[in-house]
Every structure is written in C-alpha cells, then in structure tokens.
Structure 1
Amino acid sequence: MNRIEFFHYPWAENPSSLLWGIRVDGRDLRAYAAEATRELWRPELEGQFEDDEAELAETVRNQHDGLGVPDFADRPAHFLTAADSAPLLGCPCGHWGCWPLMASIATTPTTVTWSSFRQPHRKQWGELRIGPFTFDRTAFEAALAAPSVLAEDPWGPAPGR
C-alpha cells in the first residue's frame, strides 16, 4: 500500500489563500508530475529559450500547484470519490481547469486507488508514468479529514522568486 498525506499551504500568488497539497509515499505529487512530463515537454520547448535546459526545468517544475481550498472546501471527499477523471493538481494561475493533473479514482470498502494520470490539454502525451497508487481507505480518510496546515509551500519557492 502507498501512503498519503494531505496538507494546506499558502498560494504564492495570494498567501492568504490556501491550496491542497498531496504527498504520496513522502513525495510531493508535483514531483511525480514533473518527472513524468519532463521529456514530453522537451520537443515543445526546444529552441524557444536561450538556456533550454534551465527553462525546461523551470517549466516542468512549476507546471502544477495544489487545488484551491475554497474551491474544494465543501467537498474534500473529491479526492476520494470514484471518478473516471478528477483533478488532483491545478495550474499555478489559480484556475484549476487551466492546467490540471487528472487521474481516475477507484474505491472499494478497504482501498482508494489513483491511476491513469493524464494532462487533458495534451492528449498526445497519453497516460503519464505516474502510479497507480493504492491507499488503505481508513488511513486515506483520516489523512483527508485532518490535513496539516503549513506556513509555506513545501515544494519551495519557484526559481527566480
């Protein structure tokens, strides 16, 4: 079984607003997304920047942020509800639909599984090499019910900020 942790952290663009953060097995979900999309971004960004590798690294690292707590405050079970396609991460601009990380969510009485991760605005990328992750449902629900509140984004500031 995988381990899940939910937390809230301040949004860089408006620190009084909180975002949902997610760690799977101690690793930020944004790190999984960055790793899975790095080479997929390369052809799109090649030749667009003076320092291609630095710009690629920055784009990949900063492509996602958490989902806004106010947007999902009345329905944190969003992360638990069975769905063919549900956003788990959003865009740093604050509009989660702009650049979401989507996944399928399947539940049983004892497990929650996230699988089939994808970027809907890049259908040609297909299913991303993330997961699947299967969590003990009791531990998942406990983590979801009591997210820690952090003073800053644990992913750290975006380079150049």
Structure 2
Amino acid sequence: MTSKGIRFDCRYRGDGGALVIVPRIDGAPLTELIDGFEIAAGMRPAGDAYGGLIPAFFRFGPVRDHFLGRSTHVRGPKTPVLGCECGEWGCWPLMARITATADLVTWDAFEQPHRKSRDHAAFGPFRFDRHPYDDALRALSAVIDSDVDATRA
C-alpha cells in the first residue's frame, strides 16, 4: 500500500533555535505514529521518547541523500529518521531502511538500535510515490539552505 504522502515539518527549538526536522506521513508526525505503535505494543519506555532530527547537531550530508538512504555519515544499512527527544539522534534514534527506485521510496525494517529486543516488524512499511517524495525533499532542502544562509549572515 502506498502512503498518501510525506512532508518534512521544520521548526525551531525553543532552547537555542536549532532547526528540527520531523517527517509527517499521511498528515501525521512520525513521532506520534511511533509513539502510538510502541505504547500499543507495551514497549517501555514509550511515549515522547523521539524527536526530530537536528541537522546542526550532526552533519548528515545532503538532505536528499540522507532521506534516500544514501547518507555517507551514518553507519550500517539503516538511516535515522528520528532522533531522541533531547535532540541527539545517537541517543535514542528510530532507524529505517530506505529503498528508492525510479517510481517508489519505501521506509521499512524500523528499529530502535539500543533495544534490539523490540519488534517493530508491524510498523510500516511506508511507501511513497517518488515524484511527490522528491518534491518534499526539494522543499526541505530549501528550508535547510535558508537556515544555513541565515546562520551565516
């Protein structure tokens, strides 16, 4: 099943103004989707554990490469799609395998690498039509580029 769409919400943290990226799938923030899944599955801790990715805290490389699963700065075959609620992706990340073809982008095989016993097999997969996905990445890139330009000014 193909998801209706993806977009990347961008907001600034209140503690220092760093840009935070949260994927929104079919209109729902990924943070809410994973919280609901983990709470329903009886995982502990669960709820409010994840936060968005903060590019200023870790250089993922080009955002397009990152969200196409080609980030050169991440170890292993999976890509962080969320970080910890504290802002550090390495602390409590949600990892996913991102596979892109000419027509489709799929997020699946989710995991919380610090809790290998957690079973996320029933979470996802999320499949996105490639062209709207690329449009969402272009919009995200424009926000990040604007943020970098404003920081340099």
TM-score by length of 1: 0.73
| Residue 133 (structure 1) aligns with | 126
Query: Quick check: which has more Rg, 1 or 2?
Result: 1
Residues 69, 97 of structure 2: 8 Å contact kept: no
Would the alpha carbon gap of residues 138 and 97 (structure 1) be closer, same or farther in structure 2, given more than 3 Å must change? same
| Identity across the alignment (%) | 36
Structure 2: gaps spanning 5 or more residues: 71-75, 144-153
For residues 8-157 of structure 1, what are the structure 2 equivalents within 5 Å?
Answer: 8-14=10-16, 16-38=17-39, 39-41=41-43, 44=44, 60=47, 62-70=48-56, 71-72=58-59, 74-77=61-64, 78-81=66-69, 84-147=77-140
User: What's the offset of the Cα at 1:117?
Assistant: 1.0
Letter in 2 for 1:37: E
Structure 1: gaps spanning 5 or more residues: 46-58, 150-161
Instruction: String of CA shifts for 1:34-89, please: whole Å, max 9, x gaps.
Output: 01111433xx46xxxxxxxxxxxxx51x1011000323574212011257311000
Would the alpha carbon gap of residues 98 and 128 (structure 1) be closer, same or farther in structure 2, given more than 3 Å must change? farther
Q: Secondary structure at the match of 2:98?
A: strand
TM-score by length of 2: 0.77
Would the alpha carbon gap of residues 64 and 128 (structure 1) be closer, same or farther in structure 2, given more than 3 Å must change? farther
The CA distance in 1 between the partners of 2:85 and 2:60, in whole Å, is 18
